[in-house]
Every structure is written in structure tokens, then in C-alpha cells.
């Protein structure tokens, strides 16, 4: 948890994009630079954060290691472009609704939904029956 004074201090650093009482969002440029410094020069997370003027007493030494570790995984698994794009708060995990164009599609969709719910109810009824025995 960061105090209002700590947040003000952190936001003075150009490598911090946003900061709240619970989290810090680092700039995409810093993330990429940190990963490259780690791979090209073998710098530690704490050294990288200190070199750009980030106070590890405020951020926490484990935070630096954790961030760099997460950024390295993204960089290795998904590439540079995914590292520099912010993915928090995006609806990537939400299921998209199917677009229903006309009444025929709507009826087909609703019939399938009713069949699914009927099957689910039958399953739950059987399960309740097993518990009673």
C-alpha cells in the first residue's frame, strides 16, 4: 500500500505511467528497456530499478524482481509487442455475445439454450437423488 506522499514521489519518475495506493503501472519503454538490460548486460532487477531513480524502499525489492520476472515471461512467450501494450483492465477474459441477426437465429439460439438448461436440470436432479440414497 502506498501513501499519498509516496504516490507523489513515484509519479515524479518518468518511468512510472500511473500509480495508485495499490499498484504501479510502468511505462512500456521502461519495461522493454529493463528486459533488454537484463538479457544484454546481465543486470539485476534491483540495479535496473535503482539506475532509473526508482526508490526500492518505497516500491519494495521483491516488487522489482517480480515485475522483471513477469515482463521477461511476456517478452519470451508473446514477444516485444505484447510487452509494450497494456493488457490490464481489458475485456480479454470476457466471453463475447454472439451476434443474432434475425428471428430464426434467435429462435435457434434460445432452443439450444433451453436444451442445455434442461440437461443441466436433469443432471442436478440425478445428483440430488444420489445424495438421498
Does residue 78 share a domain with residue 55?
A: yes
Q: Are residues 41 and 101 in the same domain?
A: no
Please, are residues 45 and 15 in contact by the beta-carbon 8 Å criterion?
A: no
- As a whole number of angstroms, the distance between CA 94 and CA 7 comes to 31
Q: Which residues contact 34 (CB under 8 A, 6 or more apart)?
A: 45, 48, 49, 67, 68, 71
Residues 38 and 72 in one domain: yes
Q: What is the CA radius of gyration of the chain?
A: 25
Cα 98 from Cα 71, distance rounded (Å): 34
Q: Are residues 104 and 83 in the same domain?
A: no
Residues 78-105 pLDDT 10s = 888 888 886 665 555 555 566 777 888 8
Domain range for residue 77?
4-91
Q: Map grid coordinates 517478452 to a residue.
A: 75
Average pLDDT score over residue span 31-51: 95
Whether 23 and 71 share a structural domain: yes
Number of CB atoms found within 10 A of residue 18's CB: 13
Count how many domains the chain has. Answer: 2
pLDDT digits (tens, 9 = 90+) for 42-69: 999 999 999 999 999 999 889 999 999 9
Residues 15 and 65 in one domain: yes
Amino acid at each position: 500500500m502506498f501513501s499519498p506522499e509516496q504516490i507523489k514521489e513515484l509519479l515524479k519518475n518518468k518511468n512510472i505511467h500511473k500509480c495508485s495506493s495499490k499498484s504501479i503501472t510502468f511505462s512500456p519503454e521502461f519495461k522493454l528497456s529493463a528486459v533488454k538490460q537484463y538479457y544484454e548486460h546481465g543486470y539485476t532487477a534491483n540495479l535496473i530499478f535503482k539506475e532509473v531513480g526508482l526508490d526500492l524502499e518505497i516500491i519494495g525489492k521483491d516488487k522489482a524482481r517480480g515485475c522483471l520476472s513477469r515482463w521477461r515471461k511476456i517478452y519470451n512467450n508473446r514477444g516485444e509487442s505484447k510487452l509494450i501494450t497494456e493488457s490490464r483492465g481489458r475485456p480479454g477474459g470476457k466471453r463475447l455475445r454472439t451476434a443474432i441477426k434475425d428471428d430464426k437465429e434467435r429462435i435457434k439460439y434460445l432452443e439450444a439454450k433451453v436444451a442445455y438448461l434442461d440437461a443441466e436440470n436433469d443432471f442436478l436432479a440425478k445428483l440430488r437423488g444420489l445424495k438421498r440414497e
